[in-house]
A and B are shown apart, each in its own frame.
Chain A
Amino acid sequence: MTREGTERSDEMRRVNANGSASQLRLVTLAAAALVMLGTVASARAAESDYVAGYVVLPKVVVHTTGGTPAVLAGGQAVDTLIQITNTNQTDAINVDCWWVNANSHCGTDTGPICNSNADCSPGLQCVPGWAVLDFTMTLTPGQPIGFGAASGLGNLPCDPIFPGPGCTGNSSGNIRPVPEDPFRGELKCVQVDDNDNPVEANDLKVEATIISTTVGVGGSTTAATYNGIGFEATATAAGDGPLCLGSLPPGSPAGSVCTGTYAPCPNILHMEHPFDTPTLSTELVLVPCSEDLGEPSNSADFSVTAQMLVYNEFEQRFSTSSRVQCYQSTRLSDIDTRPGTADDAFSVFSAGVQGTAVGQTRIRGVRGPDGRLGYGLIGVGCSSYGPAGSAPLATTAFNLQNAGGFREEGDAVYYTDFPNQGP
């Protein structure tokens, strides 16, 4: 049957229109897929060698001659030098920070600081603690600052009451020292706007140097530096929700909104290390990616199981696990044996057990019940050289590596809106 030209033309127009619409839909879908892939590709896990918008220093330690108890002559005093830089060469930035105090105390959180029950009076338990002290600062363009955790920094250079010849603007802030001496814990800092809301900017560079020396003379001096673990800021939103590392954890309350979205936590941490010997030991510091800085008791009750696979140079594999409650700083040989050096020879981290000098350990946070906090882990390692039970002759610190991409389940850091400057 012969069709009229017009009818055929109409049909062609309809077919072409439909084809064009399909083509356009396909292209749009392809573009959307590319955008999504871009989003996924940009979600690289947190790392320590690029500037970021949220940075964590997992290990901050202080114990000085001014502490309670004080370090006496012949003892090893320690402090942590923190260096924070605004890498933005043209604009000032605001930074909110939190000291996370992981000290344990005898009996109550106002009792004497302790490491174990043996440090407490009879009848008192050494109770793990988790408390937060916040502060804020403004850094001028390109400004670096440095301060000791033990002393803080009362007035920043370029503050109006501490002006300098090159200051193009005003810094501000009062960096409070750590709340206790001795102290062990973390420092967390996030880049914010003038209203303390997270910003989608990545201008922070942070590093820590742990320095110790023998009080008096004739002992040892040690220094070890590691870079802060940086989480790239990728988005912000209005609201009072948490900082999301990757995304909201699966069990987050309905309607939760991430006020800041950052790179996700690493899926598997990787640590290259020597196995422990009587003269060389390595300490592993792990902290959860998720924390509740606004309600510390929520974090104090939250723990992440760290599953560990240990490989030696024979490619032999062992496994162990550990529970990270708020903060864990443990010698490798104490992870699977009783604390102290007595059982070191029986640990899977012992060179005697493994039969080789070095190994690698892969660490993964095990996902638990869905909640508002996730199960990612970050950390650093520190090696000490010298006879066990004595002050170390030298130390090193190193950032853990990432061997397994990023965690798909998100993590969240809850915080209060306005840091309390206080006296």
Chain B
Amino acid sequence: MSTVKGLRTVVIAGILGTGLALYAGAASAQGFSTERPGSILIFPKVINNGQDTRIQITNTSNSMRNAHCFYTNGASFNGQPLWQVTDFDLVLTRQQPTSWTASAGRPVNPQDSQTGLDPGLIPPVADGFTGSLLCVEVDVGGAPVGSNSLIGTATVGTIEGPGIGATNVEGQYNAVAIAACNDPQGACGASGGAIDTDNVLSLDNVEYAACPGGSYLNFVSEGIGEDPILSGLGNGPGIVSSNLTMIPCGADFENLVPVSTTLNGQVRDEFELRSSISQFDIDCFLTASLDEPLFGGAFNRPTTFGSGIITPLSAPGNVPGIGVVTSLWTAADGTSDTAITNLHFCTDEAADCTTVNSEIRLPNFR
């Protein structure tokens, strides 16, 4: 009988295991999204340096929601990241959209020109600010909650108006939303569980979704000369240059220690020629032109177009980057515009995109 029982146990375990594995495999690694609401929003590129950034956040639920947000200044001084953090609170009624510009913030003043329900006092960022914004869904007391209600977009640029020499550039991207797992039927799959109320938001597919293992990007090769598309439209030869903005997937707002990570990757051009992206570090924030020596010339390809995968260097503590690419299209007469692209998330293990656990530590006020 013990043998039969043992065999039965094995069979039962096998059946359950198959079901669980299939379920877990089916629903894993989809908790990061630029299209679905989440409980953490990340805006990797926020600037106030001649160009401004308009942030828009919406509460997509039918209940009031609170959020605690952190501007992080990504500037460096003498090679050291400043890691200056400014935080503020938002209160959004059901289905309420709200917006503000980074340069002006938003006061709580029903009499001002910024009509609508003021979501809270939002400070402006300083002139020259280049950094990121992160917002976490919390309860009234500041403890994290996992309602997955927040969605956001950012529009970066400036409009000076018509006229020779005027700068008119605008680009828009969707905020990266990280889902709270909540339960095994949630965005994180079978490992998903309830979030706890401490100040450590674990991005581990238990509390919140884990970080995707990498990012795909497509680009027009740097230094290729004329871009064939813009150049063919009748305004002379046009050129394209692109800039990558990335922040580490993770943050430590409690100890104010900038999260650093080392990334690398590879690039292929249209003739399948491969090139490695040199290891490069992100100390809290990175913004760099694709033709900078930092990338080892990987994006200077002999063909017009290329694609790349950026992944964290396989070493303890390294986390993937989250970012956007900004491309500046300039025609022969000097007129130009920018286009910002959300990077695709890479979850293909065959491409070395293994999900990585990380965390966001909030200041512990309780």
Are A225 and B233 interface neighbours, CB within 8 A?
no
- For the complex, what is the distance from the CA of A81 to the CA of B230, rounded to whole Å? 9
| B234 neighbours in A (Cβ, 8 Å) | 64-65, 71, 73, 77, 213, 215-216
Q: How far is the CB of B238 from chain A (nearest CB, A)?
A: 7
A358 & B56 in contact (Cβ 8 Å cutoff)? yes
A83 touches B305 (CB 8 A): yes
Taking a contact as CB atoms under 8 Å apart, the answer to whether A393 and B19 are in contact is: no
A388 within 8 A of B: no
* Nearest CB in chain A: distance from B86 CB, A: 22
Contacts of A205 in B (CB 8 A): 216, 218, 307, 344
B344 contacts across to A, CB distance below 8 A? 49-51, 205, 227
Within 8 A of B (CB), among A40-87: 41-42, 44, 47-51, 64-65, 71, 73, 77-79, 81, 83, 85, 87
Q: 8 Å CB contacts to B: which residues of A374-408? A: 383, 385-387, 390, 393-403
Assembly CA distance A383 to B340 (angstroms): 13
Does B288 sit at the interface, judged by CB under 8 A?
no
CB <8 Å contact, B272 and A158 = yes
Q: How far is the CA of A221 from the CA of B11 in the complex (A)?
A: 66
Inter-subunit contact B152/A272 (CB<8 Å) = yes
Chain A residues positioned under 8 Å from B228 (CB to CB): 148, 151
**Which listed residue, B23, B172, B235, touches A213 by the CB 8 Å rule?**
B235
Q: Which of A25-33, A182-190, A299-307, A338-346 contacts B (4 or more CB under 8 A)?
A: A25-33
Q: Is the CB of A402 within 8 A of B36?
A: yes
Cβ of A167 within 8 Å of any chain B Cβ, yes or no, is yes
- Docked complex Cα distance between A157 and B272 (Å): 9
User: B235: nearest residue on chain A (CB-CB)?
Assistant: A213
Most interface-central of A158, A165, A315 (chain B CB within 10 A):
A315
Q: Is A89 an interface residue (CB 8 A)?
A: yes
Flag A156-186 by CB within 8 Å of B: 1 or 0 each. Answer: 1110000011111000000000000000000
What residues of A have a CB within 8 angstroms of the CB of B339 in the complex?
A: 209, 223-225, 396-397
Q: How far is the CA of A402 from the CA of B22 in the complex (A)?
A: 25
A140 adjacent to chain B (CB < 8 Å): yes
Question: Chain A contacts of B216 at CB under 8 A?
Answer: 51, 85, 87, 205
Given the complex, which residues of A lie within 8 Å of B304, measured CB to CB? 146
Q: How far is the CA of A220 from the CA of B339 in the complex (A)?
A: 14
Q: Does A237 sit at the interface, judged by CB under 8 A?
A: no
Quick check: is A355 within 8 A (CB to CB) of the other chain? yes
Chain B residues, Cβ within 8 Å of A168: 272
Q: Are A394 and B170 in contact (CB under 8 A)?
A: yes
CB <8 Å contact, B58 and A272: yes
Q: Are the CB atoms of A89 and B350 closer together than 8 Å? A: yes
Indicate if B168 sits at the interface (CB-CB under 8 A). Answer: yes
Within 8 A of A (CB), among B154-191: 155, 157, 159, 161-162, 164, 166, 168-174, 185, 189
- In the complex, A372 has a CB within 8 A of chain B: no
- Chain B nearest CB, measured from A221 CB (Å): 4
Q: Contacts A38-B19, A49-B34 known; A213 to B305 CB distance under 8 Å?
A: no
Which residue of B has the minimal Cβ distance to A31?
B19
Chain A CB within 8 A of B257 CB: no
A360 interfacial by beta-carbon distance below 8 Å: yes
Interface range, A side: 35 or more
The distance from the CB of A321 to the nearest CB of chain B, in whole angstroms, is: 18
What chain B residues lie within 8 Å of A211 (beta carbons)? 229-230, 233, 329
Residue pair A402, B15 in contact (C-beta under 8 Å): no
Per-position 1/0 for B1-42, Cβ under 8 A of A: 000000010011001101110111111001011111100000
CB neighbours (8 Å) of A140 from chain B are 272
* A-contact 0/1 string along B324-336, CB 8 Å cutoff: 0001011111011
Cβ of A123: which chain B residues have Cβ within 8 Å of it?
none
B97 and chain A: residue at smallest CB distance: A360
- Contact between A398 and B35, CB atoms less than 8 A apart: no
Of the residues B12, B27, B152, contact of A27 by C-beta under 8 Å: B12
**B23 to A38, Cβ gap below 8 A?**
yes
Q: Which residue of B lies closest to A220 (CB)?
A: B335
B16–chain A nearest beta-carbon distance, Å: 6
Distance from B316 Cβ to chain A, minimum over Cβ atoms (Å): 25
A35 at the A/B interface (Cβ < 8 Å)? yes
Q: Which of A77, A151, A313 lies in contact with B116, CB distance below 8 A?
A: A313
CA distance A371 to B354 in the complex (A): 42
A residues in contact with B347, CB < 8 Å: 50
Q: Shortest distance in angstroms between B365's beta carbon and chain A's nearest beta carbon? A: 28
Instruction: Judge whether A150 and B168 touch: CB under 8 Å.
Output: no
Q: What are the residues of chain A within 8 A of B157 when measuring CB–CB?
A: 394, 396
Q: Report the minimal beta-carbon distance from B320 to chain A, rounded to whole angstroms.
A: 14
Query: Which residue of B35, B98, B229, B327 is within 8 Å of A313 (Cβ)?
Result: B98
* Interface residue A144 (Cβ < 8 Å from any Cβ of B): yes
Q: Is B47 an interface residue (CB 8 A)?
A: no
Tell which of A77, A225, A390, A399 touches B34, judged by Cβ atoms closer than 8 Å. A399
Cβ of B153 within 8 Å of any chain A Cβ, yes or no, is: yes
Complex Cα spacing A20 to B268, Å: 57
The interface residues of chain B lying within 8 Å CB-to-CB of A165 are: 271, 273
B341 interface residue (CB < 8 Å to A): yes
Q: Tell me the complex Cα distance, A209–B325, Å.
A: 13
Known contacts A225-B339, A227-B341; is-contact A167 B271 (Cβ 8 Å): yes
Find A166's partner among B58, B174, B271, B305 (CB 8 Å cutoff): B271
Partner of A217, one of B95, B96, B169, B333: B333
Give the shortest distance, in Å, between A161 (CB) and chain B (any CB). Answer: 14
Tell me the complex Cα distance, A284–B263, Å.
Answer: 37
Task: Name which residue of chain B comes closest to A39, CB basis.
Answer: B26
Given A358-B98, A401-B151: 5 more A-B contacts, CB < 8 Å: A23-B12, A24-B11, A48-B342, A164-B303, A401-B34
Jot down 9 A-B pairs with beta carbons below 8 A, ordered by A: A79-B233, A217-B235, A217-B332, A225-B171, A394-B170, A395-B170, A396-B171, A397-B172, A399-B174
Which 9 residue pairs of A and B lie closest in terms of their CB atoms, listed nearest first? A313-B116, A164-B271, A38-B23, A31-B19, A42-B26, A34-B19, A41-B27, A166-B273, A146-B305
